[in-house]
Amino acid sequence: MGGSPVWDGTLSLDSFNTSAAALVKRWKEIEVDDSLPEWTWKPCSKSRVPLEVGGYLALERVYSSCGRSQEQIEEMEKFDDAGDVAWVESSSDNVHVYDFHVVYSFSYKVPVLYFRGYHTSGQLLTLDEVKEGLPSHSQKVLSESKWTFITQEEHPHLSKPWLTLHPCATSDWMKLLLEETKATDKERSLQYLPACMYGD
Amino acid sequence: MAAPHDEAAAWSEEAARRVWAGAVPLQVHLHDADVTALPPPPAFLTLGPRIGYLPLLIPVIKAHFSNALPPGVDTVWFEYKGLPLKWYVPIGALFDLLCADPERPWNLIVHFRGYPSEILSPCEGEDSVKWSYMNSLKEATFIITGNSKSVMNMSHADQVALWESVMKGNLDGYKSISTRLKIGPFEDDGLVRTASAERKRQQNSDEPESPGSSKPCRVPVRLYVRNVQEDLEYIEDAVPVSDWEGVSYINRPFEIRKVEGRSYITLEHALQTLLPEFFSSKAASRADGSHPAGALDSAADSSDATNSSRSSKEAEQALASPREVGAAKKTKVKLVRVQGIELDMDIPFLWVANNLKNPEYYLHICVYVGTRKQ
């Protein structure tokens, strides 16, 4: 490239793909928490329209509950299967399941996080229910900037309503996180998504 | 020098007036299950502004049906031939996409209950539409200028006034605020007039910007690609869209790179770049060459295809690489519509972007492609 100016915190599509692969690999290596599912790469192709090769990252079926471990939740699910309905209903109210997707935004040239939560019954969580599961600091931010933090938008590949973290400030954040590292473009693209995750 | 510029400005002015005045006649029927009165209320006739959004019509529609509605909380949504309509897509784009043969009036069904939240994002009426609009405007501004500052830094009063002008179709009010955002128009040389570019221009007005330093210009585009039967003879016979799975929505800016020896970029070239998979390999390879390509040749061929022309086309394709032939055989562009107009594919793309855009600076393009049944 030669003489490139100050990095603006954005990512090209190729770099996104490279970085996604790096994240999938690193996630496997570091064994964050055995109970967490793994990030996978989902190639996207609409059933009838052959679109160009592309895809997104997915981390699906992440359980979230107040003070319960993954094992306890799985234990509860077994009860569910055994038909212990009354007990499960009262306790599974506190268990939410989340799917996370990281999709490349051509507009903002950054990765964008899409997510949705649902009850163990499969019923989708409303934005209010998702809000309740957020740390108190995030709840405060959300109440102050209703439309620029978490918004409800169409998933670019699934054409279904998902929640998204608004991407308009992502490049500034990433610039802060990575510009000190003096990395080359290639190194930077490898670090980009992993840094995103830890940065949270 | 002033005369041609004035003339072009007058044309742009005229185009904007027509885009803003464009409307789809709607005949809105109340969904059977929501009718609690006998006889059922008559359908409601109204004009849906092309640049407007369906939820903005809810107050007048609700007033019309108020006596027939069941008690309780309303969650309003619209349906056309079984398909829940996405409220954040402008009415004109929905009409161009879903009515292959423009149906006038457009018969829609309004529901006040049973919101399909698996398919549509929740809508809290005007407020949701306003913020969807502002988010789109912010995104378009980011695409064009590289940041969203001009929108983020708007005063609250300006934001309100801008939205009011869009909602009421007040072009003059809109222009007085939007020009201050300094996002466009796109210039013929592929550069965009932004606040910083303007300053540069004033500093050294004689010196043209060096080509290496200028950023490639990006145009905000929303593409709606609808699949129709490949062997469709008349576009109006297309099977109605029953599921959004049958439509590919592509929100991707078109990046303009100055190509040596080409005076301007055609609509066709822009579409080839955005949707390479839908143009035949023959056209795609020509598009990279020096002369403006005619990718729609192939689409036109097929619409009045006789056996002989088809076989000659297949012979041509046999010369291309096998993978490309596969793609070219599977899909073909049948129709391209912007603001209800079937555009000439040789029209300069930047003219289209400047003059047929919606008020959030996005160009909404509907493309019908013939797809072989699988």
- Contact residues for B265 (Cβ-Cβ < 8 A; gap 6+): B190, B256, B259, B348, B349, B350
Across the range B67-95, mean pLDDT stands at 95
Domain ranges of chain B: 22-120, 128-184, 217-280+329-371
Q: Express each pLDDT in B234-278 by its tens digit.
A: 988 999 999 998 899 999 999 987 666 667 899 999 999 898 878
Residue A180 pLDDT: 62
Distance from CA of B334 to the nearest CA of A (A): 14
CB contact under 8 A, B135 and A47: no
CB contact under 8 A, B146 and A124: no
CB contact under 8 A, A161 and B131: no
Does residue B323 surpass a pLDDT of 50?
A: no
Distance from CA of B6 to the nearest CA of A (A): 33
CA A112 vs. chain centroid, Å, equals 8
Nearest CA in chain A to B328: A50
Nearest to A48 among B117, B134, B374 (CB): B374
Could you say which of 1.10.1060.10, 3.40.50.150, 2.120.10.30, 3.10.20.90 is the CATH number of the domain covering B217-280+329-371?
3.10.20.90
- ipTM surpassing 0.85, yes or no? no
Q: Which residue ranges form the domains of chain A, and what is each CATH number? A: 36-46+53-61+94-199 (3.30.1460)
Across A47-51, B60-64, B118-122, B229-233, the highest mean pLDDT is recorded for B60-64
User: Closest Cα partner for B280 from B367, B374, B347, B369?
Assistant: B369
User: What phi, psi does B23 have (nearest 5°)?
Assistant: -150, 155
One fold for B128-184 and B217-280+329-371 = no
User: A44, A66, A168, A196: which one is catalytic?
Assistant: A168
Q: Express each pLDDT in A52-110 by its tens digit.
A: 457 899 999 888 765 444 454 455 454 444 444 434 444 556 788 999 999 999 999 99
User: Closest Cα partner for B352 from B23, B343, B360?
Assistant: B343
Q: Which of B210, B218, B245, B362 to mutate to test the interface with A (most CBs of A within 10 A)?
A: B245
Architecture of the domain defined by B22-120: Roll (3.10)
Distance from CA of A75 to the nearest CA of B (A): 29
Residue B104 pLDDT: 95
Nearest to A106 among B225, B247, B253 (CB): B253
Mean pLDDT (chain A, rounded): 73
CA atoms within 13 A on the CB side of A164: 25
DSSP B247-295: EEEEE-PEEE---TT-SS-BHHHHHHHH-GGGS-HHHHHHHTSSSPP-T
User: Closest Cα partner for B366 from B55, B100, B52?
Assistant: B100
Active site residue A168: yes
Taking contacts as CB-CB distances below 8 angstroms, the residues of chain A near B251 are 106-107, 156
Considering only residues 107 to 126 of chain B, which have any Cβ-Cβ distance to chain A shorter than 8 Å?
Answer: 117-122
Across the range A139-156, mean pLDDT stands at 74
pTM for the model: 0.81
Nearest to B371 among A48, A153, A166 (CB): A48
Between CA B293 and CA B309 the distance in angstroms is 20
Taking contacts as CB-CB distances below 8 angstroms, the residues of chain A near B276 are 52
Residue A83 pLDDT: 44
B134 shares contact with chain A (CB less than 8 Å): yes
Dmax (CA) of chain A: 67
- B128-184 folds as Serum Albumin; Chain A, Domain 1 (1.10.246)
